[in-house]
Amino acid sequence: MRFILSLTFLISFYTAWSQPAQPLSLRNRRTSTITQQGEILTLQDAISAALEKNYQIRIFRSQEQIARTDFKTAKAGFFPFLTGNLTNNNNLQNLRQEYLNALQPPQYLYGVNNRNTQIGVQLNWTVFNGFGNFIAYDRLGEVVKISEVNTRANIEATVADVATGYYDVIRQLQQLVSLRQALDISRDRLELARANYEVGTRSRVDFLSAQVDYNTDSSALVTQQQNVRNAKVLLNTLIVRDPSTEFAVRDTIIIRTDISLDQLKEQLTTNNPLLIAAALNRRVANLNVKLAQAGRLPTVNLVGGYNFTAINNQGGFGVRSARNDALVYGIQASVPIFTGFNQRRLIANAQTNALVSEYQESDQRLQLQQALEQTYSQYRNSIILVNLELESFRIANQNVEIAFERYRVGNSTAVEFRDVQRNAVAAETRLINAEFNTKTAEIELLRLSSQILQQTK
């Protein structure tokens, strides 16, 4: 389908910080339209496609599945090991034997086949190893939790990237509309300058200047069209589809003003997956210390087995044939008395790694708090900039209308009008960027507080 994008600005101040939260959007702008090809793509559609198809998310989910599969008592060593063995040795001999005494005649045997077959099963069951199997099982459980929060962190980062990419498409389209409007004004000025030159009321220089400015604006429009294309290609890549797919987007960016820093801090402390993963890694490091300490305790194994041996000897000496079977069972215990101080080294290294993981958790918390403070400050300042740029944009628009009328009746020069026009385009660009920066800061705040999946819209 074809979707007509009509981008609008709200020509008024945003709600003050202390007032009840109101959605902020760009409305009531001059009607300039851009035809977009393709189906309408909403933000929720883009997020759903990314969650379903994104390769990084698939990788993390696969790794999570591996961790879940490993979380078994067998992996921790609770069950015995039972192995079966089969050995079948054959040899083919030619015997030529002569004896020193004359009582035994010489023997000449050819193609003598001797076969020795052994079949058995062996059982080895570790019934005590310093509770190492219990520690290993707890460690596997923590690894599952780490894989889960890593998957969630990747999902939230992907959603943030998709949301940012989606709003960047809107920003680039808004800028394209702005440049299209500037080109329309330059075209009106060019036609006016041509008409005035033809009737002799203005010079050829004025006409040529209008032509140069029109070409400049046309060039800027072509460049911006490429920016729009690049933004759409990036978004298509994020949602894993053909980069050349055409689509249309909505025309507004809604900004929230009700985000509370205190609530963000609370959500970050309790829900941020990176912080949770750091805490889980610390717990795994502590379990590794216990596992190393378990190496100092005795190990007790139950052993058993059954062996069957069959001998078939076609030679003339020794046992010609035999059948033997035996049941073996017992208990084995070992105590590490001296290991060259290796066990002490392993415990010391595990304790050091536990301390490192504690430092990493504290550092992760500090880094996230820093990012939250900086992003929230950027978010509030961006709202202030949007307010200021809205007023600048309103004034710049009025100046363009006044300057064009003055230029039309000959009370203003081309240079003066061009300066006013440039100021208007710059003011609109700053407004568009200010709103986009506010939205990206909002998205990052929601990601840091792990609320992005519930509140992205």
Segment 100-136, tens digit of pLDDT: 776 777 777 677 777 888 999 999 999 999 999 999 9
pLDDT at residue number 102: 67
Please report how many Cα atoms fall inside a 13 Å half-sphere around the Cα of residue 295, on the Cβ side. Answer: 16
Residue 161: CB atoms within 10 A of its CB come to: 18
3-class state of residue 379 by DSSP: helix
User: The pTM is what?
Assistant: 0.82
Report the candidate in 10, 386, 9, 28 with the shortest Cα–Cα distance to residue 174.
Answer: 9
- Going along the chain from its start, the domains and CATH numbers come out as 2-71+131-298+339-455 (1.20.1600.10), 78-97+108-128+299-334 (no CATH)
Contacts 24+ apart (CB under 8 A), 213-218: 213/186, 213/189, 213/414, 213/418, 214/183, 214/186, 214/187, 214/189, 214/190, 217/179, 217/182, 217/183, 217/186, 218/183
pLDDT at residue number 317: 59
Distance separating alpha carbons of residues 214 and 32, to the nearest angstrom: 18
C-alpha pair distances (Å), 136 with each of 65, 129, 362, 367, 446: 18, 11, 25, 31, 36
Distance separating alpha carbons of residues 200 and 68, to the nearest angstrom: 85
Contact assessment for residue 238 and residue 50, using Cβ atoms and an 8 Å cutoff:
yes
Contact assessment for residue 121 and residue 87, using Cβ atoms and an 8 Å cutoff:
no
Distance separating alpha carbons of residues 117 and 90, to the nearest angstrom: 9
pLDDT at residue number 7: 36
pLDDT at residue number 310: 84
The answer for residues whose C-beta is within 8 angstroms of residue 235's C-beta and 6 or more apart is: 46, 162, 165, 166, 168, 169
3-class state of residue 76 by DSSP: coil
pLDDT at residue number 136: 94
pLDDT at residue number 12: 31
3-class state of residue 168 by DSSP: helix
Which parts of the chain have pLDDT scores under 70? 1-34, 102, 109, 314-319, 455-457
Amino acid at 177: V
Distance separating alpha carbons of residues 333 and 213, to the nearest angstrom: 93
Contact assessment for residue 154 and residue 51, using Cβ atoms and an 8 Å cutoff:
no
Largest CA distance in the chain: 148
Distance separating alpha carbons of residues 353 and 285, to the nearest angstrom: 6
Contact assessment for residue 74 and residue 126, using Cβ atoms and an 8 Å cutoff:
no
Looking at 39-108, list the stretches that DSSP marks H as alpha helix, in order from N- to C-terminal side.
43-53, 55-70
**Residue 35, beta-bridge partner list:** 4
